[in-house]
Amino acid sequence: MAETDSVIIRPERVEELSLEIGAALSKDLSSLRTINKSTRLVSLNARIEAARAGEAGVAFGVVASEVMELAKGMDSSFHNLEANTAPLLRELESLGEGLARNVRGQRLADLAATHLDLVDRNLYERSCDVRWWATEGALVHALESRSPIDIQHASQRMGKILDSYTVYFDLVLCDPEGRVVANGRPDKFNSVGSDVGKMEWFRSALATASGAEFGFEGVHASPLAGGERVLVYSTAVRRGGEENGAPIGVVGVVFRWDALGQTIVDTAAVPPDEASRTRVLIAEPDGRVIAASGGVRDGEKLPVEDWLTRNGAPRFHLGVQWNGREHLVALARSQGYETYATGWVGLLVQQV
Question: pLDDT for 84-115, tens place per residue?
Answer: 666 766 766 666 666 677 888 899 999 999 99
Question: Could you tell me the pLDDT band of residue 82, with boundaries at 50, 70 and 90?
Answer: low
Q: Beta partners for 329?
A: 318, 349
Question: Is there a single domain that holds both residue 165 and residue 256?
Answer: yes
Q: Has residue 138 been placed in a domain? A: yes
83 and 139 in a single domain? The answer is no
What band does 73 get if pLDDT is binned at 50, 70 and 90?
low
38 pLDDT exceeds 50? yes
Q: Is residue 315 part of a domain?
A: yes
**pLDDT, position 8:** 46
Please check whether residues 172 and 237 belong to one and the same domain: yes
Show the domain range for 42.
2-103
Percent of the chain at pLDDT exceeding 70 = 73
Q: Are residues 144 and 40 in the same domain?
A: no
Same domain for 142 and 254:
yes
Q: Who wins on pLDDT, 253 or 79?
A: 253
- Residue 132 gets the label, from left (phi > 0), alpha (psi -120 to 50) or beta, of alpha
Position 333 in a domain = yes
Q: 327 lies in a domain?
A: yes
Please tell me the pTM assigned to this model.
Answer: 0.75
246, 281: one domain: no
Q: Establish if 229 belongs to a structural domain.
A: yes
pLDDT band at 121 (very low <50, low <70, confident <90, very high): very high
In the structure, what pLDDT confidence band is assigned to residue 233 with cuts at 50, 70 and 90?
very high
What is the helix (H) or strand (E) element at residue 58, kind and residue range?
A: helix 58-133
Of the three residues 260, 280, 315, the one that is the final residue of a domain is: 260
Residues 308 and 249 in one domain: no
Quote the pLDDT of residue 43: 62
Closest CA to 166 of 93, 234, 260: 260
Q: What CATH number does the domain containing 224 carry?
A: 3.30.450.20
**Ordered DSSP codes for 153-199:** HHHHHHHHHHHT-TTEEEEEEE-TTSBEEEES-TTT---TT-B-TTS
248, 275: one domain: no
Number of domains in the chain: 3
Q: Are residues 228 and 276 in the same domain?
A: no
Could you tell me if 184 and 161 are in contact, meaning their C-beta atoms sit under 8 angstroms apart?
A: yes
Q: What are the distances in angstroms from CA 253 to CA 76, 141, 153, 169, 184?
A: 80, 19, 18, 8, 10
253 and 277 assigned to the same domain: no
Residue 260 has pLDDT above 80, yes or no: yes
Do 97 and 159 fall into the same domain?
no
